[in-house]
Amino acid sequence: MAKMTAAMAAALVLEKEGITQAFGVPGAAINPFYAAMRERQSITHILARHVEGASHMAEGYTRAKAGNIGVCVGTSGPGGTDMITGLYSAQADSIPILCITGQAPRARLHKEDFQAVDIASIAKPLTKMATTVLEPGLVPRVFQQAFHLMRSGRPGPVLIDLPIDVQQAEIEFDIDTYEPLPAFKPSVSRRQAEKAIDMLMASDKPLLVAGGGIFNADATAQLKEFAELVGVPVIPTLMGWGCIPDDHPLMAGMVGLQTSHRYGNASLLASDFVMGIGNRWANRHTGSVDVYTKGRKFVHVDIEPTQIGRIFTPDYGIVSDAKAALEQFTAIAKERKAAGTLKDFSEWVARCEERKRFMGRKTHYTETPIKPMRVYEEMNAAFPRDTIYVSTIGLSQIAAGQFLHVYGPRQWINCGQAGPLGWTIPAALGVVAADPTRNVVGLAGDYDFQFLIEELAVGAQFSLPYVQVLVNNSYLGLIRQAQRGFNMDYQVQLSFENQNVSDPVLKPYGVDHLMVVEGLGCKALRVTDPEKIQPALKQAMEMTREFRVPVVVEIILERVTNISMGTEIDKINEFEPIDCRHPEGPEGLEKAGLLE
């Protein structure tokens, strides 16, 4: 046993739990904890410019690599409330992050002290645990419980609030014998797995829907092995994108109202059985339950019991960690293959491959101003296969889901449910902090970019290089498109006559992003010609290596382009011409039965 401050005990527990990186903004009420981190020198700290930015950096850090847990630190009052959006984003997508906040002294908590707020009550609905620690001796065990909760069952965030006098109090604590608690993860039984495989084998046109739980369980290899063994096509959700390479024969495309492929929607509608693994049937994926479920049976596998039946009642539900389920499914399938009782779905797979081959969307536009579809075509050509893409919300993210190619796990880092504007830049910085050797590319529209643009200075200060693609139409594009239903274009235009810009093409677009970016210590390029997109993207990659800072590539788009989406997965509005590769044109798709 040793005598130490509770703040030092907290820092030591973080070390034992494997934490080597934190993001945050210091302040008076959290300074004792910062003093402990400074003394230990074992946790690298990155200073954010906004505490919300720190929380999104922690998210990006967690999402980038299996086993990571991002830590963000803030002071009392606004230091905690600024993190709420990050907690919501993490909770919604089952992402474990630990938020640590300072707090007023215990004796002042009920006296409306300066920057004293009941942050634990505010954060409670958005976390697996949110607590203000009132006894110094509890501090190391509350941190131990936090890591146990974050890793157990459905992952999620935790907030620990530390009054300053609690941090400074001395306690007896033996860190040498401290051990992390084992995580609890439910596992499928043999009997349950056999029933699920029986249902799969009873179908004729099955699909596997793979969600973000595949990544949380680090189970991409198991998913691929099982899919290849049984010969069943895979539909990744937006959070599961990359669990199987886009060019894999069994990758059947994404399904949904927005971030979807035409062939993915068509194959789902033609299927008769769906096994969902580690997914939550998000409404942007399903559209209405009636359309999504009609004519097909469902098995739902999820680590969280209350997730099964939340959106609709499946024909069969299994509470299990995704990796444990897939390993059991694979073992049973191998037995049946050896016995010669594994069903052959090759004809169905061939139909799904036909849809994928013939049902595309046009990307090669040569117009100026640039059509957004062309941007993604050039990104696919310019960036290496192992590129990690980071994006949050808006037409830029929706178009990315339709046109980009993703080839590996955790190569699409996306805030799926919450979708807060401003998320992209700090999240990308967190991804780079997790692995500075990877090719990281952020994708943002101009409004997302402007929300937390100050965090680019963090990338410059701490040498966190990545390429930030900025598609600029000077609009709140997704909201403008949604306002078509109200016959208005109201308060969604970001354009204005910038008196400091002389270029007549750029002047009405408003903000001079290049000037701002360079003022924050980063590098920037601007593209107005579609033929120059790819060279600029490649140049930006070289600049990240040379200057070791974020490099922004601003691409000036035409002001108004509607991106394909709809109210149901069988009613997607294709605003632009279809890139139909069938020799008989669109009529050939129907004649060949690919739309059935």
Q: Which of 51, 200, 370, 443 is catalytic?
A: 51
* 421 noted as active-site residue: yes
Distance of CA 438 to the CA centre of its chain: 17
* 476 noted as active-site residue: yes
Nearest Cα to Cα of residue 79 among 59, 62, 55:
55
* 25 noted as active-site residue: yes
Q: Which of 476, 511, 553, 556 is catalytic?
A: 476
Q: Which of 421, 533, 552, 557 is catalytic?
A: 421
* 533 noted as active-site residue: no
The Cα 594–Cα 596 span in angstroms is 5
Whether residue 371 contacts residue 365, with contact meaning beta carbons closer than 8 Å, is answered with yes
* 13 noted as active-site residue: no
Nearest Cα to Cα of residue 159 among 121, 197, 196:
121
Long-range contacts of 218-223 (CB under 8 A, 24+ apart): 218/66, 218/67, 218/323, 219/278, 219/322, 219/323, 219/326, 220/244, 220/408, 220/409, 222/322, 222/323, 222/326, 222/327, 222/330, 223/277, 223/322, 223/326
Longest Cα pair distance anywhere in the chain, in angstroms? Answer: 80
Distances in whole angstroms, Cα of residue 141 to Cα of each of 9, 13, 160: 10, 9, 11
Q: Which of 175, 479, 494, 595 is catalytic?
A: 479
The Cα 561–Cα 7 span in angstroms is 53
Whether residue 48 contacts residue 25, with contact meaning beta carbons closer than 8 Å, is answered with yes
Q: Which of 12, 13, 19, 25 is catalytic?
A: 25
Nearest Cα to Cα of residue 494 among 481, 482, 477, 478:
477
- DSSP code at position 387: P
Whether residue 530 contacts residue 514, with contact meaning beta carbons closer than 8 Å, is answered with no
Extract the tokens encoding 301.
């596998």
Q: Annotated active-site positions, please?
A: 25, 51, 421, 476, 479
